[in-house]
Chain A
Amino acid sequence: MIKQSWSSLISPLLLVMTSVLTAGCHKDDFLGKNPNSSLVVPSTLTDFQNLLDNDQVMNLFPALGEISADNYFIDQSLWQSAGTRVQNAYTWEKDIFDGEGNDEDWNYPYQQVYYANVVLDGLEKLKTDNSTIATYNSVKGQALFTRAFGLYNVAQLFAPVYDAMTAATDSSIPLRLSQDVKAPTVRSTVKQTYDQITGDLRIAVGLLPATVSMTYVNRASRPAAQALLARIYLSMRKYDSAGLYADSALSAHLTLLDYRQLNNSGLPIPFSRQNAEILYQSSFVNYQDYSQVLTGYSYFDCFVDSNLIRSYDPNDLRPSFYYFLLGVTDSFGLKGSYAGSLFPFGGLATDEVYLISAECKARAGDLNGAASKLNTLLVNRWKPGTFNGYAFTTQQEAFDTVLSERRKEMPFRGVRWSDLRRLNKEGANITLFRKINGAVDSLAPNSIRYVLPIPPDVLLLSGIQNNPR
């Protein structure tokens, strides 16, 4: 009896002993197991695409420009309850951070740059063959696009406007081109900044897919890269290049929304995120202080600038799509974004490209061309049968009309601040005013306050110089 149980025990005993020993022998296999199924060391094209597809990081757009621009005003009570940064940016104070160390408007774009650098560094180590080259190129193009868009957006807030005369010496934003966290942060010049951005984008144009994906509007495409180049060259006042890239984007993608067909009845936000005009999705950073001011349909709301409201023709459909009459006042509030969300859209869309093309044509003296681009766009924006079409006789008329239509078409799209910087540089002489506490603040054309101060944490930890204010 005992013998029997003794022998029957030998085998499990041996089993356990062997398993302990073999575990020791195959230590690397045993300890090599991935501890968490949802963690990876990014190393494949899929991993890289996943990083680029993180829309919570990659498709965010800084909001301080719009906060500082003249599309809206807020009343005393909203201003009082708004966050420090909004209060100060609204009245263009010298120090807008007032003790707060971090700024989402700086952090998110540089996070995009970091992600893009992780992808670009990783792609260097990847071998490609015929079956993967298309994906490889697309991923690389998207990374270059994202890095350029991030750096451009930071430059609109924290670097002076591009001036060909002084660009080589004007101090601009730091350019980070590798994922190494130990690499020093150094300010570049405005010229270096724009050379890097446009250089990256020109490479991206050659790599990116030729068509816009209607599903994945968070991903860059060749038309999106061309549209971005058009936006950037416009801000640099290189109107020839801007016009060229605008037209090439339009040659691939000309779809426009027809507001006459769009259902606007009882629907607060008539647009969808994947609407036909969107080339690249980007939404304002959803930071509480900002969303409190700029969100459509919120408890507290900004008032749309009354001059802007008055500039629309009664037959123009756009105001009814963009704004709503606030119940207790005579002012208009913001319905929501052009991309269907409550928070503004800062991405790229065909309407902007039409307007860039029209502006560049007007500046080049191609009055018919400018009118044609505008008319193609605007016929979709007016009540059926009411829009007669523009025909220009003077360049000034074409120019003024284009700029006025640009303002009416694209409020709260994150471009007004850049436009103010650029147009004032050319002598537009636009002064901004704010009324708070009965006092009136103003921002003079070409003021150094058009360049925001660098967030305190960045100054402290990198040692770079702040912008003069």
Chain B
Amino acid sequence: MGVIKLAVPLLLVACLFRSLPANCQPSPLITLKEINVPLQKALEDIRLLTGYTYAGEATWVQYSHRVSFSVRKAPLRQVLDSCFKDQPFTYEIIGKAISIQARPPKELVVHGFIFNEKREPLEGVTILVRGELSAAAVTRENGEFSIRTRFADDQLLISSVNYESQELRPDDSKDMVIYLRERVGALADVVVVNTGYQEKSRKGTTGAFDVVSAELIDRRVSTNLLDRIDGVTNSVLFNKNIVSGTNQSAITIRGRSTIFANPNPLIVIDNFPYNGDITNINPEDVENITVLKDAAAAAIWGAFSGNGVIVITTKKGRLNQPAKWSFTTSQTIGEKPDLYYQPILSSSDYIDIQQFVYRKGGYNGQLSNFQRGAISPAVAIFDATTKGLISPADSASRINVLKGVDTRSYLNKYFYRQSLNSQYSLNVRGGGPRNQFFLSAGYDENKSNLVRNLYKRVTLLGNNTYMLVPDRLELSTGLSLSTSKAYLNNVGTSNVGYPYARLADANGNPLPVNLGLKNSYIDTAGGGQLLDWHYVPLNELKNSDNTVQLADYRVNIGLRYIIRKGLDVHIYYQYGWGDSIGSNYQNLQTYYTRNLINSYAQNSNGVFTFPVPMGGILDEQRNTYTANNARLQVNYQDTLFRQGLLNVIGGAEVRDLEGEGRRTRLYGYEKGVASSIAVDYATQWPQYANNNKTRIPYYDVNSANSERYLSYYINADYTYLGRYIFSASARRDESNLFGVKTNNRGVPLWSVGGGWVISKENFYHVNWLPFLKLRITDGYNGNVDRSTSSFTTAYINPSGNSYGAGSATIANPANPSLRWERINIFDAGLDFSLRKDRLGGSLDYYIKSGQDLIGQSPLDPTVGLTTFRSNTANMVDHGIDLTLHANNMIGPIRWSSVLLFSYVQDRVTVYKEKIGPVSTYFLTNVINPFVGRPLYALYALQWKGLDPQTGDPQGVLGGKVSKDYGSIVNSGNLNDMVYMGPSTPRAFGGWRNSLVWRQWGFSWNIVYKFGYVFRRNSIFYSQVYNGTSFGHSDYQRRWQNPGDEKMTNVPSMIYPIDRNRDAFYQASTVLVEKGDHIRLQDVQLSYELTRSAYPRLPVSMVRFYLYANNLGILWKANHAGIDPDYVSGMPNPRTLAIGMKTDF
């Protein structure tokens, strides 16, 4: 750094001194403009203007360089200085003559190293001597270079694609050490975007792209690739509170624009959509990720692009680079999760409630003789006390013991542990003059924080490119293999229906708990002929044997034939295959197996037979996909209208994705022997405990599905004068959608765009803003809904009906006017960069409008169906994406930050189904679109406090305060409910900072989400009464005496309770909280050593880092102690990783 800063003033001083003697003479003033003329021509012009002649040694004309300058009324000396700058001569003014003299050459051999700011050696950087193009050098792998120059005042010009150029004077007195700065405002210049069909410079595009570099991908430590782009890409939202049944996607790009069709972004890996599990990808193998956001960027993906596209490109080799090995490893330790995060009832409170319900007779049904369901221990004690079997004193002491038991302490001890994730990755990349290669191997082993859960993954990747015929034919091959095995033996709970279960005695011996059937029944049932019928959670954990194995491979073959310069043909083919095998072996010791065997046991006068055979049960589920993708593409590039550049790609693509699923169950299975026993599935067996007649569960199912697509596409970009950019694309997709006639299968989609680099205009003189570009695009993306059809279709029920015959359910009635969903995206964007990239970024405004969306329409139930799916809904999203890159501090300490801000607001504009009553809007597992509101929104019922006399919650019915809960929650008037806000964040993003000082690097990422609400939990008595919930500590704050209503909103406890009273409280406004929060996501500290700085280092570079993740919330709007990303469940525990990356 210092070198550059010093070099510039030194040069200036040198120039001043050199021209000092001539200043004594009066000098004529010259006005002259020369553009790229030989030196001789310039001197001749000067002679004509001033009368000064010129002369020199005979060779000077031959060795001189062309000159360009423009001066107004400049002194002669200044003009001559510009003429002789960079010339291998000097001049002297003698009288009215200019004498041209060969410079006294001082041959230097300059030797040095070039690094980036992280002190990584840079290879392939070009060093030129200014004015002497023949002298050039390129840095070697370790950043080393040496170059000869002829003059001490020469200028070295150092340039590299990804780094800012530098000029400095040669210095042969020592090794020159040069640090290059990465082009941060790369946005403006050199960033390459990959659409999956072509790579192009961001500069020449009109679309909205976001690129995540390898460096940014490597910043985070995780096994899963997608975790690494969380919080570092604009407009990409990771949904943490996904509710099943509502068709939510884990990732959304620019909000939501479909209701029932596929909500997931398309994931493309190495040119083609990826059909496997994303966890199969090793993040270490990824070169970059491009997110395609608007129509111009994504429309090339046609009917798959409606939700945005994430293009993942794996690492490739480099031409002319010796093999370079690199090894990465990390160890990540995670805390135990906080089991006490959810404030459930204390055991003491829970038992008090049980006692209250018992006294009211609420357990009479359960306790009556014919009920054989398990009874919780406290209720059993109360009952035994009532029946006089135990004394009141004994009862009280037993209850007191139970009140002191908290199941979570056992879970914490026996079910949870610290996690440890280990990652190892080794790769080599390089290439010769005609080939490039990248080979990598990775191994991951994650010990989950759930005891007995483990994940192992092996990945292999090889990417090769060969120029078969120079400048003609190139072959590229890619092979990717990934296998993993997950052990899922621990589900993290004990499955017990009361919170005071003791799972082990003082010595750690497993204890049974009350689950399934009543203890008094299972203790004696079968008279010793049946298997033990107790449920022992710790033994379940020990005996569990549940695994999921994934295997995945991809083979890529690409051929590029260059017909002539600017015209080439590509053929790509990808074969992908993957399968997942879930295997759950429940041996004879597991409760499931014992219970099933016992339940089906037949007692014929004391002779027991077992229709479910004695032995383990093996469930296997296997899903396989096979993908064949082929593409033929022509790339054409040419100049058009002299200063214009035309870039056209066009092609056809065929995709065939075949999936197969199989589920099987083997009874009487013994692992090791691998033998199983046939069972009688046909007979309806009376159940041992209740004589219900049922068949033995039959799980063998096969399924197959097929997705086929034929697509044609064309995409053209035209750049005129380097500042006007036009783009257009069109695509047609056809698919084997069910029962659609061929001519209706396809959908044509298109986009157009324009870009204007204002800063390149002649009239542009804003010095502080040297780069400014405007982009506007518009077009249509599509989305496929594969669940509907234009004919009446029926779904064959895989296991038939309950009589052993086939069975079919009508999936949808005939809908001849079915169409594909279309999403129009308008985007206006601005890219800018301040001088020296001190601040740069982009701002986009977009409107996404989903048209012909699949929506539900209500049908008169007399038709035989209550709803009908068809293209009846519309949605609109508005949004802003802002990215700012700042270099806050340049110098020995470099501080840079990136601010990401996304704002998106979606609204359903047309929806035909009448939904109601209001209670429908409080169901969590269905989508309830409401015109004028976001698709995922929260509604609540007006709250009028607690009744001062009874502590009953009060709502509003027909404008009056009411306790008619049934009518309130079932009100058909939707105006009776209050819209509380969207349930997904409106504004979100991150603020990432990094500091670099010498070998040290420090960075942290702060992420935020604003503008949304969530519904929190509280005490809902009926759920506690019937044992489906452990309640909530709000119980402590419940209304108990008149006057309490002033301090609390928690209703009083009553029995019996109207279910609707709980339902009303649950839906009321008082339980809705703001989700806004700011989180310190992670912190990374790194230290790096390079051989150039430490010549005795045995490797060329080694970097150590510490990475801490999930650090916690900095600020949140709610005061209920809830992390809005974890409204249910537990927050992700904090983790600390220590890692090392070595380049050999």
Q: Are A41 and B810 in contact (CB under 8 A)?
A: no
Tell me, in angstroms, the Cα distance from A419 to B932 when the chains sit together: 51
Kindly report which residue of chain A lies nearest to residue B628, judged by CB atoms.
A19
Q: Are A216 and B693 in contact (CB under 8 A)?
A: no
Q: Known contacts A13-B571, A81-B1058, A115-B864; decide if A99 and B742 are in contact (CB<8 Å).
A: no
Q: Known contacts A42-B792, A301-B365; decide if A20 and B861 are in contact (CB<8 Å).
A: no
Q: Are A457 and B369 in contact (CB under 8 A)?
A: no
Q: Are A267 and B691 in contact (CB under 8 A)?
A: yes
Q: Hey, which chain B residues are within 8 Å of A20, CB to CB? A: 630-632, 652, 654
Is A117 an interface position by the 8 A CB rule? yes
CB distance from B604 to the nearest CB of A (A): 10
Tell me, in angstroms, the Cα distance from A41 to B790 when the chains sit together: 10
The 8 A CB mask of B885-914 against A (1 = contact, 0 = none) is: 000000000000000000000000000001
The 8 A CB mask of A53-96 against B (1 = contact, 0 = none) is: 11111000000000000000000010011001000000000000
CB distance from B916 to the nearest CB of A (A): 7
Q: Are A55 and B801 in contact (CB under 8 A)?
A: yes
Q: Are B794 and A2 in contact (CB under 8 A)?
A: no
Q: Are B736 and A41 in contact (CB under 8 A)?
A: no
Q: Hey, which chain A residues are within 8 Å of B370, CB to CB? A: 268, 297, 324, 327, 333
Tell me, in angstroms, the Cα distance from A5 to B466 when the chains sit together: 11
Q: Hey, which chain B residues are within 8 Å of A460, CB to CB? A: 914
Q: Hey, which chain B residues are within 8 Å of A99, CB to CB? A: 917, 966-967, 970-972
Q: Are A274 and B801 in contact (CB under 8 A)?
A: no
Among B488-496, B702-710, B771-779, the stretch in contact with A: B702-710
Tell me, in angstroms, the Cα distance from A268 to B738 when the chains sit together: 48
Chain A interface, number of residues (Cβ within 8 angstroms): 95
Among A102-110, A227-235, A435-443, the stretch in contact with B: A102-110
Kindly report which residue of chain A lies nearest to residue B868, judged by CB atoms.
A181
Q: Are A326 and B796 in contact (CB under 8 A)?
A: no
Is A269 an interface position by the 8 A CB rule? yes
Q: Are B469 and A181 in contact (CB under 8 A)?
A: no
Kindly report which residue of chain B lies nearest to residue A184, judged by CB atoms.
B860
Q: Hey, which chain A residues are within 8 Å of B1059, CB to CB? A: 81
Q: Are B792 and A23 in contact (CB under 8 A)?
A: no
Tell me, in angstroms, the Cα distance from A461 to B868 when the chains sit together: 13
Tell me, in angstroms, the Cα distance from A166 to B865 when the chains sit together: 32
CB distance from B366 to the nearest CB of A (A): 6
Is A251 an interface position by the 8 A CB rule? no
Q: Are A50 and B796 in contact (CB under 8 A)?
A: yes
Is B266 an interface position by the 8 A CB rule? no
Tell me, in angstroms, the Cα distance from A400 to B51 when the chains sit together: 144
Q: Hey, which chain B residues are within 8 Å of A272, CB to CB? A: 684, 693
A-facing residues in B714-763 (Cβ within 8 Å): 734-739, 742, 745
Contact of B706 among A13, A33, A46, A174 (CB under 8 A): A33
Q: Are B706 and A35 in contact (CB under 8 A)?
A: yes
Contact of A55 among B798, B802, B858, B917 (CB under 8 A): B802
Q: Hey, which chain A residues are within 8 Å of B914, CB to CB? A: 460
Tell me, in angstroms, the Cα distance from A327 to B571 when the chains sit together: 79
Q: Hey, which chain A residues are within 8 Å of B862, CB to CB? A: 106, 110, 174, 176, 185, 458, 462
Is A298 an interface position by the 8 A CB rule? yes
Is B807 an interface position by the 8 A CB rule? yes
Is B339 an interface position by the 8 A CB rule? no
Q: Hey, which chain A residues are within 8 Å of B864, CB to CB? A: 110-115, 117, 176, 179
Q: Are A40 and B796 in contact (CB under 8 A)?
A: yes
Is A164 an interface position by the 8 A CB rule? no
Q: Are A179 and B792 in contact (CB under 8 A)?
A: yes
The 8 A CB mask of A241-276 against B (1 = contact, 0 = none) is: 000000000000000000000000001111011100
Q: Known contacts A16-B571, A39-B796, A53-B803; decide if A269 and B692 are in contact (CB<8 Å).
A: yes
Among A24-32, A304-312, A367-375, the stretch in contact with B: A24-32
CB distance from B660 to the nearest CB of A (A): 9
Kindly report which residue of chain A lies nearest to residue B682, judged by CB atoms.
A215
Kindly report which residue of chain B lies nearest to residue A8, judged by CB atoms.
B468
Tell me, in angstroms, the Cα distance from A213 to B900 when the chains sit together: 70
Contact of A218 among B692, B801, B966 (CB under 8 A): B801
A-facing residues in B668-700 (Cβ within 8 Å): 684, 686, 690-693
Q: Are A30 and B693 in contact (CB under 8 A)?
A: no
Contact of A101 among B366, B368, B557, B917 (CB under 8 A): B917
Q: Are B858 and A54 in contact (CB under 8 A)?
A: no
Tell me, in angstroms, the Cα distance from A218 to B707 when the chains sit together: 36
Contact of B710 among A23, A110, A112 (CB under 8 A): A23
Q: Are A9 and B708 in contact (CB under 8 A)?
A: no
Tell me, in angstroms, the Cα distance from A5 to B736 when the chains sit together: 38
Centre residue among A9, A185, A272 by max chain B CB count within 10 A:
A9
Please list 27 pairs of residues, one from A and one from B, whose beta carbons are closer than 8 Å in the complex, sorted by A's number.
A6-B469, A24-B652, A30-B654, A33-B708, A36-B705, A36-B738, A37-B703, A38-B703, A39-B738, A47-B808, A56-B801, A98-B967, A99-B917, A99-B971, A100-B917, A106-B861, A110-B864, A114-B864, A176-B862, A179-B814, A218-B805, A272-B684, A273-B684, A297-B371, A328-B361, A342-B692, A458-B862
Beyond the given A270-B691, A457-B861, please list 13 additional residue pairs across the A-B interface where CB-CB is below 8 A: A20-B632, A23-B654, A33-B708, A34-B706, A35-B706, A39-B794, A41-B794, A53-B808, A54-B801, A56-B807, A84-B970, A111-B865, A268-B370
A residues with a Cβ closer than 8 A to B are 2, 5-6, 9, 12-13, 16-17, 19-20, 23-24, 27-28, 30-42, 46-47, 49-51, 53-57, 77, 80-81, 84, 98-103, 106-107, 110-115, 117-118, 174, 176, 179, 181, 183, 185, 215-218, 267-270, 272-274, 297-301, 324, 326-328, 333, 336, 340-342, 455-458, 460-462
